[in-house]
Structure formats: C-alpha cells, structure tokens
Copies of this chain bind each other. A is one copy, B any other.
Amino acid sequence: MRSAALIFAALGDHTRLLLLARLSAEGPLSITHLTRGGPLSRQAVTKHLHVLAGAGLAASAHRGRESVWQAEPAPLQTARQCLDSISAQWDAALGRLRDLVEE
C-alpha cells in the first residue's frame, strides 16, 4: 500500500502525467525531444523523469550521448488494484448497511 502511495504521488502532478502519456503514446524518447515544444526546461523534465523512475513508471537507457526514456506500465496495475480494493471495501460497507436496514 505504501508503494501505491508512491505511484499515486508520481502521477499526482499534471506535468508528469502529460510526460507519462507522451512516453506511453510516442514510445521511447530522448530528454531533449521531450523538452521541445513544451514550456519546461531540460532540467525540469529530467527531474520529473526521475520521479517517474522512482515509482517504477519510467526507465532510461543510454544510447550514445542521448538518454532514451520509456514508460513502464507495470506499476499502473498496482495502482488499479489499490483503487479496486478501496471501491470493494466501499461496496461491502454499502452492502452491510443495506442488510442492516433490511433487518
């Protein structure tokens, strides 16, 4: 559950969410490529990528002078399971309440 919080925290920034979406959609990209067009500096992008990496959501590989980053979707599964678990608890509580009322 603590790791789920880490993942959510990494996703809990609009800029990082966009970065992750781009990485997922456009495949492996270098840092400068990710920087182009956007309003962020290269270092800002780098920092965000490292946060994503800290949560296991992205990984980098060095190719020549470039650092190529890629999305790692596995932790998304963990996050989903956490959401499902909370929803399930909620449903169970609702069910118990209904049973209580029906008695």
Contact = CB atoms under 8 A, between A and B. Distances in A.
Interface string A56-100: 000000000000000101001001101101110110110001000
Interface of A is mostly: helix
Contact of A27 (B4, B14, B71, B93): B93
A12 B6 CA distance: 6
Contacts of A76: 83, 86-87
16 contacts: A1-B21, A4-B11, A5-B13, A5-B14, A6-B12, A12-B12, A21-B86, A24-B86, A24-B89, A25-B89, A25-B92, A26-B93, A71-B90, A73-B90, A76-B87, A80-B80
Contacts of A44: none
A18 interface: yes
Interface string A3-25: 01111111111100110110011
A33 interface: no
A36 interface: no
